[in-house]
Amino acid sequence: MMLLATLDGNLHDPNSPLIRVDDLGVLRGEGVFETLLVVSGQVRDLSEHLARLQVSAHLSDMTTPPIAAWHRGIDAVLTAWREPAEMVLRLTATRGSETGAQPTCFVTGTQVPEKIRQQREGISVLTLDRGHSGAAAATLPWLLTGVKSISYAVNMSALRYARAHGADDALFVGTDGHVLEGATAAVVVARGDTLITPPEDGILPSITVRRLFHHAALDGWTTEESPLTRTDLIAADGVWLVSSVRLLAPVTSIDSGKIRISSDHDRLLGLLRQN
């Protein structure tokens, strides 16, 4: 079940084609997106996601419609939603048709996939070399490492590679040995009463990590951004993949080596779930 709206506030049948073949989103993966979680009709971190979408567009030299237009599309989907309390909202803006100058924008609403909520049982990850270091990539703007781009084939390929090798997910590591991010998520570790996430160099800044760190700090945790190696992860008191829809998935295995779920998992998940 999918709901689909354009930014004029109109709903469309998602089974009917909406995109032309000369759209640069299809031709060359030129576009940006955001994935958000809706809980009981409330969109979480909406202004943060809209701001990141604008940054992605700016870094891609694309124009995107004003925030008010996105709200029309989002409201149309929210109003029509008759399914469970939770929903995945996705905002997409492609560069548009080769001959036009307008982006192609749409909003979809879908159910939260069962599979993504592995908070309890935990997930196994395979570390994969990203081919560059985050620090170096951050100085090369054409690599678009800080952009949530629909040119997402490498991420999906990494995920498939990990699954073909018996893991649930992939974890990118830089050539300098520093952990970067998951294929579709950020990384957080616990060390004592400190939560650590890698610096934002060469990776997508995570809105959900920011949310977690905000609530964790109020709860007495120390939070910091610092470089983490694979060895740091194995030695940590807890390792999680963090993203807007899956929230907090505990990592229970790194490259087939078992690690324990932190005893603070439920507490942190509770912090992340609160408004």
Which one, 128 or 195, has the nearer CB to a copy of itself?
128
Please report whether residue 128 would count as binding a copy of itself according to CB under 8 A. yes
Please report whether residue 150 would count as binding a copy of itself according to CB under 8 A. yes
Beta-strand runs (E) in 113-197: 123-129, 169-173, 179-182, 186-191, 194-197
Identify which range of 21-29, 38-46, 68-76, 193-201 contacts a copy of itself by CB under 8 A. Answer: 21-29
Identify which range of 76-84, 116-124, 125-133, 262-270 contacts a copy of itself by CB under 8 A. Answer: 125-133
Could you give the CA distance from residue 269 to residue 203 in angstroms, rounded to a whole number? 23
Identified binder of a copy of itself from the candidate list 141, 166, 205, 257, rule CB under 8 A: 141
Identified binder of a copy of itself from the candidate list 85, 156, 217, 234, rule CB under 8 A: 156
Give me the helix-helix angle, 46-59 and 207-218, nearest 10°: 140
Could you give the CA distance from residue 96 to residue 20 in angstroms, rounded to a whole number? 9
In this structure, what are the phi and psi dihedrals at residue 164, rounded to the nearest 5 degrees?
-65, -20
- Residues of span 59-118 touching a copy of itself by CB under 8 A: 60-61, 92, 94, 106, 108
Beta-bridge partner residues of 229: 178
* 48: exposed, middle or buried (Cβ count in 10 Å: 0-12, 13-18, 19+): middle
Binding residues for a copy of itself, rule: CB under 8 A, are: 2, 4, 14-31, 33, 60-61, 92, 94, 106, 108, 128-129, 131-132, 136-137, 140-144, 147, 149-158, 160-161, 170, 175
